[in-house]
Amino acid sequence: MLLAQPSPLTASGLSSPGAGTGTSASNAPITPSAQPSTGGQIQADPATNSLIITAPEPQYRQLRAVIDQLDGRRAQVLVESLIVEVNADKAAEFGIQWQNILGTSNSSVIGFLGTNFRGSGTGGANIIDLAIGAATGEVRPAPGVNIAAARNINGTFVLGLLARFLEANTDANVLSTPNLLTLDNEEAKIVIGQNVPFVTGQFTNTGTSNSSVNPFQTIERRDVGLTLRVKPQINENGTVRLTIYQEASSVQPGTERDTNGPTTNKRTIESNVLVDDGSVVVLGGLLEDRYGGNQEKIPGVGDVPVLGNLFKSEARRRTKSNLMVFLRPVVIRDTSASDAVSIDRYDLMRTKQQNTQPANSVIVPVNQAPIMPEITTVPPPLDTWKPLSPPPATTAPSVR
């Protein structure tokens, strides 16, 4: 909104003949006219989103032409991100332990012979520790197939042989698709995850005579999950410059209750890229193939082909990790494009709600889950935009 107020103008004129001085009109000096004002005043009124301009008419017209170009609908950018992570972990373990007593109860000297491994091939389960556990009734063999043999010595069964076999396969396939809509040249951020506490310090009264200060801990909470921060800038040729910060973090399983706090796995990309409108660009990733092995054996005997397997423990592991991050910016310049994107996402979520309705039950008479209302006004289709992730293959059932 513009409010214009023209500046007062000063008129110029000639002196009348013989006015006051008796000088003729031909000899009278010309009174200089007021110089045109080159200044103006512009004030903003945030409450009404208006500009109050006080300036001469020519200058006002120039300002108005500039303001008309600035006062327009700003373009928006829909940033679609794909985070694809595929992991494969394969492990195999094999180990044989045995022990035997040489001699009888009448012998003055009794010998002991056997193998004693505690590596990965035996799952960290030592045969001597298992024998003691069997005597006390607390036997905890390692995971996998355990084949054992016990010997009866004076009415007591003593573990004499333990063979262990284990093969484990672990696969993981993670697909994350964070989407974010923001104005041109404006930074936006989305965080999806948990706010995990981390212990940063503590104080105890242990070993001190002064107990006036109570024990305490200082905790800092950090976001763990998925974070996308992006600032797009649309160029005149249709390309989009993106300043991107992408983070995917998670808590390492089994470390949630560690004394020093949980351990987090973190994958971060921070970059500046130039992408065409609607094109897909790969930001980066990681392809990792790792192998590890561990072997324990009796020197010499463990190297004998076939027979040496009775005197060794071995474990092998191979881990593959594939991580890629893709990005696609889509410029939205008008209302129809914005409506097309919004309606598509709206219908996608409504379809998923319809497909997850509970089955009808007489015993548990709660047979409906909330569903988003249907939008009757359908915007014109947008041919230049299609969702980066494929739509669901299932057809939504009719729900009353």
The pLDDT value recorded for residue 24 is: 53
Q: What is the DSSP letter of 301?
A: G
C-alpha to C-alpha distances, 343 to 190, 261, 315, 328, nearest whole angstrom: 21, 44, 54, 19
The pLDDT value recorded for residue 9 is: 38
CA-CA distance, 251 to 259, in Å (whole number)? 15
pLDDT greater than 70 at residue 319: yes
Q: How confident is the prediction for the chain on average, in pLDDT?
A: 78
Confidence of residue 30 (pLDDT cuts 50, 70, 90): low
Q: Which residues pair with 87 in a beta bridge?
A: 172, 321
Flag the least confident range among 11-20, 63-72, 163-172, 385-394. Answer: 11-20
More confident residue, 332 or 130: 332
CA-CA distance, 167 to 372, in Å (whole number)? 47
Confidence of residue 97 (pLDDT cuts 50, 70, 90): confident
Q: Which residues pair with 89 in a beta bridge?
A: 170, 319
Half-sphere exposure (Cβ direction) of 35: Cα atoms closer than 13 Å: 3
pLDDT tens profile 180-237: 999 999 999 999 988 888 888 877 766 556 556 677 778 888 889 999 999 999 998 8
Confidence of residue 22 (pLDDT cuts 50, 70, 90): very low
More confident residue, 376 or 9: 376
Closest by CA to 82, choosing from 215, 280, 229, is 280
Is pTM, for the whole model, over 0.85?
A: no
Q: What is the DSSP letter of 236?
A: T
